[in-house]
């Protein structure tokens, strides 16, 4: 009788444990995330600003989690092709999306998007803030400083061009904002990403770019392209010899390229929490800090709620810039 009672208690304890696991939505299994490689959709070709931060992130991800973060480059239409693909990914923590400021601009530029950056994604973390930099091919635009450059542009209206990562990206809008504030005209040439645009800039096929420091930094240091100005009111510590916009007479020229991490809508809350914690550990690691600093960038450091509010504010801010520029795409 005593033996039968012990067996019954054992069975009841097992049933209770099973019920608890089912009631928690399988949280025991989810808490082990990741148990397999994670796919990171990067919506631009290799060699651009997003890639410059995604690849170091992937290297640290492997060290922190023991699993691979697979970079999935899907460029096109100013980053919206990759965003559309990621929005339809399984909400299980194994599809993540590394978007950027471009995706806060896209709703105002592309009226027929088949996704909504605020409704179809869950914002997780702001990964990096990078000031824009005005860079030129020194052979195509032989000037010594920003003032000489501005005089050169004004003497040659519509004769110079600038490349961008695509229509509707921050590179594009940074150029439009520059034209508004300086009363100049430069022809816009969109590419499928900052990488291809930079290669054409280095080759002399385009004259200049309004690029994020993350993708231009290496080429500035090598001398293949020349930096004339960084946006904002302060010089960048990684390039202390390059004047800021406020110094050259453009106090309102503030354009920052930022990069963030999202998951498809429906990703479980406990999985979100694991991802955010691992990304925080990665972002505060000395190795990542050094890489970010060499690219002239700062780690985001926002909470999940702060990042969500930031994205919404950026969507509204860029809508005003797009309206003032009169830019619109189908």
Q: What mean pLDDT value characterizes the chain?
A: 89
Based on the domain organization, do 216 and 276 belong to the same domain? no
Report pLDDT for 329: 63
Based on the domain organization, do 240 and 139 belong to the same domain? yes
End position of a domain, from candidates 214, 230, 248: 248
Q: Could you say which residues of the chain have pLDDT below 50?
A: 1-30, 330
Q: Which of 229, 233, 197 is nearest to 215 (CA)?
A: 197
SS3 track for 209-238: EEEEHHHHHHHHHHCCCEEEEECCCCCECC
Report pLDDT for 206: 97
Based on the domain organization, do 119 and 263 belong to the same domain? yes
Report pLDDT for 234: 94
User: Residue 316 half-sphere exposure, CB side, CA atoms within 13 Å?
Assistant: 6
Burial of 59 (0-12, 13-18, 19+ CB in 10 A): middle
Based on the domain organization, do 50 and 158 belong to the same domain? no
Based on the domain organization, do 76 and 170 belong to the same domain? no
Cα(122)–Cα(157) distance, integer angstroms: 44
Q: What is the pTM of this model?
A: 0.83
CATH of the domain at 120: 3.40.190.150
In a domain, 29, yes or no: no
Cα 119 from chain centroid? 18
Report pLDDT for 32: 83
Identify whether the C-beta of residue 254 lies closer than 8 Å to the C-beta of residue 178: no
Write out the two tokens for 140: 């195509």
Show the domain range for 209.
131-248
Based on the domain organization, do 44 and 124 belong to the same domain? yes
In a domain, 6, yes or no: no
User: Residue 141 half-sphere exposure, CB side, CA atoms within 13 Å?
Assistant: 34
End position of a domain, from candidates 195, 223, 248: 248
In a domain, 158, yes or no: yes
In a domain, 27, yes or no: no
Based on the domain organization, do 176 and 240 belong to the same domain? yes
Based on the domain organization, do 135 and 244 belong to the same domain? yes
Based on the domain organization, do 105 and 167 belong to the same domain? no
Report pLDDT for 103: 96
CB atoms within 10 A of CB 62: 12
CATH of the domain at 214: 3.40.190.10
């Amino acid at each position: 009788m005593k033996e039968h009672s012990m067996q019954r208690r054992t069975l009841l304890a097992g049933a209770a444990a099973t019920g608890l696991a089912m009631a928690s939505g399988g949280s025991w299994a989810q808490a082990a995330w990741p148990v397999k490689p994670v796919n990171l959709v990067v919506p631009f070709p290799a060699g651009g600003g997003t890639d410059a931060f995604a690849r170091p992130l992937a290297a640290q991800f492997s060290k922190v989690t023991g699993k691979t973060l697979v970079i999935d480059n899907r460029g096109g239409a100013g980053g919206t092709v990759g965003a559309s693909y990621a929005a339809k990914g399984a909400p299980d923590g194994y599809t993540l999306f590394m978007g950027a400021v471009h995706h806060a601009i896209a709703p105002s530029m592309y009226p027929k998007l088949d996704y909504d950056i605020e409704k179809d994604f869950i914002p997780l973390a702001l990964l990096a803030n990078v000031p824009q930099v005005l860079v030129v091919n020194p052979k195509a635009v032989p000037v010594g400083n920003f003032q000489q450059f501005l005089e050169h542009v004004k003497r040659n209206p519509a004769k110079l061009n600038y490349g961008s990562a695509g229509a509707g990206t921050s590179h594009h809008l940074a150029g439009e904002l520059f034209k508004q504030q300086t009363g100049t005209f430069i022809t816009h040439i969109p590419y499928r990403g900052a990488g291809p645009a930079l290669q054409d800039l280095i080759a002399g096929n385009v004259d200049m770019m309004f690029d994020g420091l993350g993708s231009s930094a290496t080429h500035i240091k090598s001398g293949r392209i020349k930096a004339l100005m960084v946006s904002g009111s302060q010089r960048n510590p990684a390039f202390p010899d390059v004047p800021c916009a406020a110094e050259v007479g453009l106090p309102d020229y503030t354009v920052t390229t930022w990069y963030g991490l999202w998951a498809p809508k429906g990703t479980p809350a406990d999985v979100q929490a694991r991802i955010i914690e691992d990304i925080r550990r990665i972002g505060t690691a000395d190795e990542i800090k050094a890489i970010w600093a060499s690219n002239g960038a700062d780690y985001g450091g926002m909470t999940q709620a702060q990042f969500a509010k930031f994205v919404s504010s950026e969507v509204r801010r860029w809508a005003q810039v797009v309206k003032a520029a009169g830019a619109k795409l189908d």
